[in-house]
Amino acid sequence: MARWFVVLGLCLLFPSAFAQSPDGAPAAAGSCVACHGAEGQGSGAFPHLAGLGEAYLRRQLDAFASGERVNAIMKPIASGLSESQRQAVAGYFSGLEMAPTEAAGGPPPDGPGRTLAVHGRWQQDLPACVQCHGPGGQGIGEDFPPLAGQPAAYLEDQLKAWRAGNRPAGPQGLMGHIAERLDDDDLKAVAAYFAALPAATAEAGDD
Ligand code: HEC
Ligand code: HEC
C-alpha cells in the first residue's frame, strides 16, 4: 500500500517522467529506432540523430511534417507526431551520446573534398565547411549539425535537396547559398570526405 503512495507522489512530482518508457525514452521514440538505430546512432543509409542539437532536430521534424523538407518516408512519421511529441523526441535524441565510430573507410583521403571542407573556395565566396560545422565536422551548438560519420549518400542528397528547393535553407538561408555554388563533383567529394570522418559527440558541456 505504502508503495502506491510513493508512486503516486512521484507521478505528481515528475509527471513527464511517467509518460516515458523505463529507459527514459519518450514513447514516440520507439518507432524511430528501426531506421535510426536503438541509440539514435544511425544505421546503413539512415542518418544518426544522437547528439544533434535539439533546436535543429525539432526544426527538421516540423519541416518534414509541413512538407517544406521533402521526404516521402519522414513526412507521414513527422506528421503523425503532435507538437509536444516532436519536442520530446528532439530533446531525447539530442541528449543521447553519439558513440565514437571508426572512420568508415579509413582516414579520409586528401583531395578536392578535403580542400573544400577545410579551406573553402574563397574566389567563389565559399567558406570552409568546418567554419560552421566545426573541426572534424563534429557540429557546433544547437544549429550547426555534425556532418562527420553521416552516410555519404545522405549528405549528398541534402546538398542536392537545397539546390532543388526541396529543403528549407535553415537559419539565415546559409546552406541554400552554399549548396548553389557546389557542382556535382563537389557534392560527391565533400560528402565522401565527411562520411569518412569518425562521428563522436562534441565535448561534454555542449548545450
Ligand atoms: C522507415 C524508416 C524511418 C523511420 C521509422 C524514421 N525515420 Fe527519420 N529518417 C529516415 C530517412 C530515410 C531520413 C533521411 C531523409 C532525407 O534524406 O531527408 C530520415 C531523417 C530524419 C531526420 C533528419 C536528420 C538530419 O540530420 O537532418 C530526423 C530529425 C529524423 N529522421 C527523425 C526521426 C524520428 C524522431 C523518428 C521517429 C519518430 C524517425 N525519424 C523515424 C527514415 C526513418
Ligand atoms: C555559414 C555557415 C555554414 C557553412 C560555411 C556550411 N554550412 Fe552546412 N549547415 C549550416 C546550417 C546552419 C545547417 C542547418 C540547416 C538547417 O537547420 O536546416 C547546415 C546543414 C548542413 C547539412 C545537413 C546535415 C544534416 O544532418 O542533414 C549538410 C549536409 C551541410 N550543411 C553540408 C555543408 C557542406 C558540405 C559545407 C561546405 C561546402 C557546409 N555545409 C558549409 C551552416 C553552414
Q: What are phi and psi of 205, to 5 degrees?
A: 100, -5
pLDDT (tens digit per residue) in 142-151: 999 999 999 9
Atom index in ligand 1 nearest the CA of residue 32 equals 37
> How deeply is 180 buried, as exposed, middle or buried, from its count of CB atoms within 10 A (0-12, 13-18, 19+)?
exposed
pLDDT (tens digit per residue) in 168-193: 988 889 999 999 999 999 999 999 99
Residues of the chain by 3-state class (helix, strand, coil), percent to 5: 55, 5, 40
205: pLDDT strictly greater than 80: no
Contact residues for 153 (Cβ-Cβ < 8 A; gap 6+):
45, 191
CB of 143 shorter than 6 A to ligand 2: yes
15: pLDDT strictly greater than 70: no
What's the average model confidence in pLDDT over 81-90? Answer: 97
Three-state DSSP class for residue 164: coil
35: pLDDT strictly greater than 60: yes
140: pLDDT strictly greater than 70: yes
203: pLDDT strictly greater than 50: no
CATH number for the domain formed by residue range(s) 2-95: 1.10.760.10
Residue 109's pLDDT band (cuts 50, 70, 90) = confident
Each domain of the chain, given as residue ranges in start order, spans: 2-95, 112-195
pTM of the model: 0.89
CB of 56 shorter than 6 A to ligand 2: yes
What's the average model confidence in pLDDT over 54-63? Answer: 97
Contact 44, 150 (CB under 8 A): no
- Best CA proximity match to 95, nearest among 34, 174, 26: 26
CATH topology match: 2-95 vs 112-195: yes
Three cell numbers at 19?
Answer: 509518460
Task: Tell me how far apart the terminal alpha carbons of the chain are, to the nearest angstrom.
Answer: 41
In angstroms, the CA 133 to CA 104 distance is 19
CB of 144 shorter than 6 A to ligand 2: yes
43: pLDDT strictly greater than 80: yes
- Count of CA atoms in the C-beta half-sphere (13 A) of 61: 27
Q: Which residue has the higher pLDDT, 163 or 2?
A: 163
Fold observed for domain 112-195: Cytochrome Bc1 Complex; Chain D, domain 2 (1.10.760)
Q: How many angstroms is it from 135 CA to the middle of ligand 1?
A: 25
Binding site as annotated, residues for heme c: 32, 35-36, 74, 129, 132-133, 175
